[in-house]
């Protein structure tokens, strides 16, 4: 048998193939195991790639191969199954393999740095340290703080915990050590399955049936279709406990906004130390440590956002995707994968169950449940005794509005506050006003780099483009005619807050949008204030619509949903309905049933009527019927080729060429729509256009994409544009 000694490496580069290298000179072949990182020469520099496989010299297409630099890991970071999954994903999403691996690695490892230690460092007071009085440390305040903390907590604590309480106190720890007052120790992490799981709460019949329906020993996809507050999280926890007993790991994915400290604490309380949390807010080192704990099988449960899906898990037994309809599971740039869809593939390849939970399942998932590909589990009632909120439409045609608030809604707000309850207002726009215009000549403030209007942010006195982020000082007079009578039209959260503050001066107002929550910890502060009753009016964007329960809210007002009915995107109505139901779900509990008022100029619109009268399931069936008639997803499969360039004609030229290439390759099995300008043609100074591909067979689309995308890179017109391919696109912008 010919010796396999050529290294096939996934190198981060915008190219679809792997690169072959000779083994490093000083290494024996058995030290080369697929899944380790290798440093390789690339172009004029060096890159850090992942060894995928070893091949024979005949199998290698490369001539005059260069030797690889160094092997960076002694044991593989990825198992054979992990490598296969990521290679599959690179193929399916038509994304360069090296970049797919870069997405799967924590950032320091991606850069080729050594692994962080998974040992847990702890600090203990010495006998001398126990006798010290922190007050006598004088100006060394950090040292005093740490010393006091250790004395109060019985003399010993994990470094991570100390850092959490005292901030960065590493120098203080070192000084205390030099004084001989404290000493450190490093322990390996606890074993999987040793985590403590206190008595689970009693499940109701629906919950128990859902738990019992999930077969843990084989692949199966399950839709857990449960209204907000029906106890889906309890079902997840019960299944996690079953996995713990079996010594298997559970991966729980939640939306970006859903990974709240409350949720983490809820899992921690039930699982003790076996939890690893992975999200973008963590420091690189912490995140990498959690990743290793997962990869080594020490973490029983991995709770994370989208990219956690790509974590190696040697004993994976269950995947949960909470709020599976949420858009944040789809990465919108670079490697455009759907963590939800990939979760199903991963479960299938692993041979374990995957549970998709939502109060408003996506039409894709509902259709899979209808055809029997997924099992449909239902939790139709709220847990405990909480009643569902009552929904009504408020006709605002020919009604005098005050900053988007109708008199009826104002009256209901007043009544709610008078009873000592909380009210929540949802408005899907931040800033003060979306339009600034000159009353004399009709000029409108536009972004100079986008086909978009500037939003006025009164807090910062800036005009702000929400599409490219450019900002400029608010004009004092019209740049066209010089008139000073500039006015705003429409409203965002800032303006609604202003009006509420003047109408209800005695009420505490919590505004929750991206501007008020930019600082770390500020969202938690606001949410804590709401829970403690410091605020009685809550106002915000979709950040309010997700994840949080506000049990004292009895009135929900939804200010503006009409654009969803007539949006350019065929998914606009689906998203609007999901948003309405999710916002409505924030309100009410047993003693305090909730009321939801939806302001609309189209109160007779049949889809609105259906949603409000019969609920999401009825709405979704109707939408599915429409999609089927129009042969839109989920009844067909799409891919979107996007191109953009500073020169207006360049994207079109590239897409025309791409289109004729696709025509010859597809032989009529894939429809080609376009090229057309993107809904917002100019953005951040670039002209944008796209070409949509659609087929009623996923396989036909894939058969076209693989050769086509590789050929695109060789087109001359491709060099004049930035282009990307999006398989199963969720948004058409
Ligand atoms: P969901 O995830 O579906 O929104 P949660 O699991 O967060 O719902 O449950 C909503 C509320 O109901 C929580 O306060 C939870 O503690 C409570 N709850 C869940 N299951 C039960 C049950 N079987 N009996 C009583 N209360 C429950
Ligand atoms: Zn003017
Ligand atoms: Zn702009």
Residues with Cβ within 8 Å of residue 518, at least 6 apart in sequence: none
Distance 547 CA to ligand 1 centre (A): 13
For domain 6-110, the CATH class is alpha beta
Q: Per DSSP, what are the bridge partners of residue 357?
A: 224, 322
Nearest-CA residue for ligand 1 atom 15 is 231
Alpha-carbon Rg of the chain, whole angstroms? Answer: 28
| pLDDT, position 141 | 86
Which atom, in ligand 1's list, is nearest to the CA of 207?
Answer: 23
Distance 210 CA to ligand 1 centre (A): 14
Question: What does the alpha-carbon distance between residue 697 and residue 637 come to, in Å, rounded to a whole number?
Answer: 7
| φ, ψ of residue 451 in degrees (nearest 5) | -85, 70
Q: At 614, is the pLDDT very low, low, confident or very high (cuts 50, 70, 90)? A: very high
**Closest to 360 in 3D by CA, of 227, 542, 255, 544:** 227
Range ranked top by mean pLDDT from 154-168, 171-185, 214-228, 556-570: 214-228
Q: At 192, is the pLDDT very low, low, confident or very high (cuts 50, 70, 90)? A: very low
Residues with Cβ within 8 Å of residue 581, at least 6 apart in sequence: 228, 359, 360, 611, 615, 616
* 204, 383, 545, best to mutate for ligand 1 pocket (most atoms within 8 Å of CB): 383
Which atom, in ligand 1's list, is nearest to the CA of 203?
Answer: 23
**Closest to 144 in 3D by CA, of 135, 156, 155:** 135
Question: Is the domain defined by 390-429+492-629 classed in CATH 3.40.50.300?
Answer: yes
E strands, 657-716, in order: 671-683, 686-695
Question: What does the alpha-carbon distance between residue 545 and residue 561 come to, in Å, rounded to a whole number?
Answer: 14
Task: Please report, rounded to a whole number, the percentage of residues in the chain having pLDDT higher than 70.
Answer: 96
Provide CATH 3.40.50.300 ranges for the chain.
Answer: 205-379, 390-429+492-629
Instruction: Collect residues with CB below 5 Å from ion ligand 3.
Output: 447, 449-450, 465, 467-468, 470
pLDDT tops 90 at residue 104: yes
pLDDT tops 90 at residue 28: no
Distance 567 CA to ligand 3 centre (A): 20
Residue 350 contacts residue 219 (beta carbons within 8 Å): yes
Question: What does the alpha-carbon distance between residue 617 and residue 359 come to, in Å, rounded to a whole number?
Answer: 10
Q: At 198, is the pLDDT very low, low, confident or very high (cuts 50, 70, 90)? A: low
Which atom, in ligand 1's list, is nearest to the CA of 233?
Answer: 6
Distance 721 CA to ligand 3 centre (A): 19
Which range (159-173, 327-341, 500-514) has the least confidence?
A: 159-173
Q: At 98, is the pLDDT very low, low, confident or very high (cuts 50, 70, 90)? A: very high
Nearest-CA residue for ligand 1 atom 19 is 231
CA angle 399, 404, 406 (to 5 degrees): 40
DSSP class per residue in 22-37 = BPPTT--GGG--TT-E
Protein residues with CB under 6 Å of any ligand 1 atom: 201-204, 207, 226, 228-234, 383-384
* 200-239 burial code (b ≥16 CB/10 A, e <16): eeebeebbeebbeebeeeeebbbbbbbbbbbbbbbbbbbb
Residue 433 buriedness (CB in 10 A; 0-12 / 13-18 / 19+) = buried
| pLDDT, position 597 | 94
pLDDT tops 50 at residue 97: yes
Average pLDDT rounded to a whole number, residues 682-693: 95
**Closest to 353 in 3D by CA, of 216, 247, 207:** 216
As a whole number, the mean pLDDT across the chain is 90
**Closest to 527 in 3D by CA, of 563, 502, 552:** 552
Model pTM greater than 0.85?
Answer: yes
**Maximum pairwise Cα distance, the chain:** 85
CATH architecture of 637-727: 2-Layer Sandwich (3.30)
Question: What does the alpha-carbon distance between residue 170 and residue 159 come to, in Å, rounded to a whole number?
Answer: 9
Q: At 64, is the pLDDT very low, low, confident or very high (cuts 50, 70, 90)? A: confident
| pLDDT, position 242 | 92
Average pLDDT rounded to a whole number, residues 467-489: 92
Question: What does the alpha-carbon distance between residue 472 and residue 634 come to, in Å, rounded to a whole number?
Answer: 42
Residue 381 contacts residue 387 (beta carbons within 8 Å): no
Average pLDDT rounded to a whole number, residues 94-103: 96
| pLDDT, position 519 | 82
Q: What is the pLDDT of residues 366-424, one digit of tens each?
A: 999 999 999 999 998 888 767 778 899 999 998 898 889 999 999 999 999 999 999 99
Average pLDDT rounded to a whole number, residues 447-453: 93
Q: What is the pLDDT of residues 68-93, one digit of tens each?
A: 999 999 899 999 999 999 999 999 99
Q: At 520, is the pLDDT very low, low, confident or very high (cuts 50, 70, 90)? A: confident
Residue 253 has a CB neighbour count (10 Å cut-off) of: 29
Q: What is the pLDDT of residues 313-326, one digit of tens each?
A: 999 999 999 999 99
Residue 311 CA, chain-centre distance (Å), reads: 15
| pLDDT, position 659 | 96
Q: At 591, is the pLDDT very low, low, confident or very high (cuts 50, 70, 90)? A: low
Residue with tokens 């483009």: 465
| pLDDT, position 1 | 54
Distance 454 CA to ligand 3 centre (A): 8
| pLDDT, position 613 | 92
Q: What is the pLDDT of residues 701-718, one digit of tens each?
A: 999 999 999 999 899 999
pLDDT tops 60 at residue 199: no
Residue 58 contacts residue 3 (beta carbons within 8 Å): no
User: Rounded to whole angstroms, what are the CA distances from 37 to 48, 105, 167, 169?
Assistant: 7, 10, 33, 33
Q: At 2, is the pLDDT very low, low, confident or very high (cuts 50, 70, 90)? A: low
| pLDDT, position 61 | 76
pLDDT tops 50 at residue 291: yes
Average pLDDT rounded to a whole number, residues 605-629: 94
| pLDDT, position 11 | 96
DSSP 8-state symbol, 504: -
Distance 456 CA to ligand 3 centre (A): 13
Provide CATH 3.30.70.360 ranges for the chain.
Answer: 637-727
pLDDT tops 90 at residue 46: yes
**Closest to 579 in 3D by CA, of 604, 562, 591, 601:** 562
Which three-class secondary structure string do you get for 541-608?
A: CHHHCCCCCCCCEEEEEECCCHHHHCCCCCCHHHHHHHHHHHHHCCCCCCCCCCEEEEEECCCCCHHH
* 205, 234, 385, best to mutate for ligand 1 pocket (most atoms within 8 Å of CB): 234
Task: Please report, rounded to a whole number, the percentage of residues in the chain having pLDDT higher than 90.
Answer: 63
Question: What does the alpha-carbon distance between residue 642 and residue 531 come to, in Å, rounded to a whole number?
Answer: 45
CATH classification number, 205-379, choose in 3.30.470.20, 3.30.300.30, 1.10.3720.10, 3.40.50.300: 3.40.50.300
Question: What does the alpha-carbon distance between residue 177 and residue 122 come to, in Å, rounded to a whole number?
Answer: 12
SS3 717: helix
pLDDT tops 70 at residue 364: yes
Average pLDDT rounded to a whole number, residues 443-469: 92
Distance 477 CA to ligand 2 centre (A): 8
Question: What does the alpha-carbon distance between residue 357 and residue 377 come to, in Å, rounded to a whole number?
Answer: 9
Task: Report which secondary-structure segment, H or E, holds 49.
Answer: strand 45-56
């Amino acid at each position: 048998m010919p010796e396999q000694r050529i290294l096939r490496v996934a190198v981060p580069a915008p190219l679809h193939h792997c690169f072959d290298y000779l083994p490093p000179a000083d290494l024996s072949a058995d030290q080369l195991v697929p899944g380790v990182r290798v440093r390789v020469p690339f172009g004029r520099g060096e890159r850090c790639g992942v060894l995928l496989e070893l091949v024979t010299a005949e199998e290698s297409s490369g001539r005059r191969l260069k030797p690889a630099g160094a092997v960076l890991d002694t044991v593989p970071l990825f198992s054979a199954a992990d490598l296969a999954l990521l290679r599959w994903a690179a193929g399916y999403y038509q994304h360069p393999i090296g970049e797919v691996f870069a997405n799967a690695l924590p950032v320091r490892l991606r850069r080729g740095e050594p692994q962080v230690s998974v040992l847990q460092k702890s600090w203990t007071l010495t006998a001398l340290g126990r006798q010290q009085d922190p007050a006598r440390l004088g100006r060394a305040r950090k040292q005093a703080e740490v010393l006091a903390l250790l004395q109060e907590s019985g003399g010993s604590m994990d470094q991570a915990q100390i850092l959490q309480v005292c901030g960065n106190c590493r120098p203080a720890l070192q000084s205390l050590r030099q004084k001989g007052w404290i000493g450190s120790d490093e322990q390996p992490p606890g074993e999987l399955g040793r985590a403590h799981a206190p008595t689970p709460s009693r499940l109701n019949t629906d919950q128990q049936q859902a738990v019992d329906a999930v077969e843990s020993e084989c692949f199966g996809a399950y839709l857990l279709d449960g209204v907000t507050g029906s106890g889906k999280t309890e079902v997840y926890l019960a299944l996690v406990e079953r996995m713990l007993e079996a010594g298997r790991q559970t991966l729980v994915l939640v939306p970006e906004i859903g990974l709240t400290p409350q949720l983490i604490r809820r899992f921690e309380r039930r699982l003790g130390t076996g939890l690893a949390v992975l999200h973008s807010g963590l420091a690189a080192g912490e995140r990498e440590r959690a990743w290793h704990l997962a990869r080594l099988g020490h973490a029983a449960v991995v709770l994370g956002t989208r990219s956690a899906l790509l974590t190696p898990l040697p004993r994976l037994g269950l995947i949960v995707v909470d709020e599976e309809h949420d858009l944040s599971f789809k990465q919108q740039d670079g490697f455009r994968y759907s963590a939800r869809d990939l979760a199903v593939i991963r479960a299938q390849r692993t041979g374990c169950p995957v549970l998709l939970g939502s109060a408003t399942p996506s039409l894709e998932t509902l259709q899979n449940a209808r055809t029997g590909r997924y099992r449909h589990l239902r939790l139709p009632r709220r847990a405990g005794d909480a009643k569902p909120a009552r929904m009504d439409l408020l006709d605002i045609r020919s009604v005098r509005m005050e900053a988007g608030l109708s008199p009826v809604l104002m009256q209901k707000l007043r009544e709610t506050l008078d009873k000592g309850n909380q009210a929540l207002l949802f408005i899907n726009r931040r800033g003060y006003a979306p339009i600034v215009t000159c009353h004399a000549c009709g000029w409108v403030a536009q972004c100079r780099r986008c086909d978009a209007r500037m939003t006025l942010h009164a807090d910062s006195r800036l005009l702000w483009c929400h599409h490219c982020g450019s900002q400029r000082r608010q004009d004092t007079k019209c740049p066209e005619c010089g008139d000073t009578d500039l006015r705003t039209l429409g409203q965002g959260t800032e303006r609604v807050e202003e009006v509420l503050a003047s109408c209800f001066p005695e009420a505490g107002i919590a505004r929750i949008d991206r501007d008020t929550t930019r600082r770390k910890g500020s969202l938690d502060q606001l949410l804590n204030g709401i829970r403690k009753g410091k605020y009685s009016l809550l106002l915000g964007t979709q950040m309010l619509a997700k994840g949080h329960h506000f049990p004292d809210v009895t009135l929900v007002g939804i200010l503006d949903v009409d654009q969803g009915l007539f949006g350019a995107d065929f998914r606009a109505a689906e998203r609007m309905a999901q948003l309405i139901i999710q916002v409505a779900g924030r309100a009410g509990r047993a003693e305090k049933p909730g009321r939801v008022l939806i302001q609309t100029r189209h109160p007779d619109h049949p889809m609105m009527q259906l949603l409000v009268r019969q609920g999401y399931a009825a709405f979704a069936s109707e939408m599915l019927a429409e999609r089927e008639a129009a042969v839109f997803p989920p009844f067909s499969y799409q891919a979107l080729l996007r191109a953009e360039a500073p020169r207006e004609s360049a994207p079109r030229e590239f897409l025309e060429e791409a289109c004729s290439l696709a025509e010859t390759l597809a032989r009529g099995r894939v429809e080609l729509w376009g090229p057309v300008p993107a809904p917002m043609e100019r953005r951040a100074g670039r002209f944008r256009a796209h070409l949509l591909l659609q087929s009623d067979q996923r396989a036909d689309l894939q058969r076209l994409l693989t050769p086509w995308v590789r050929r695109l890179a060789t087109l001359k017109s491709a060099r004049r544009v930035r282009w990307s391919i999006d398989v199963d696109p969720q948004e058409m912008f």
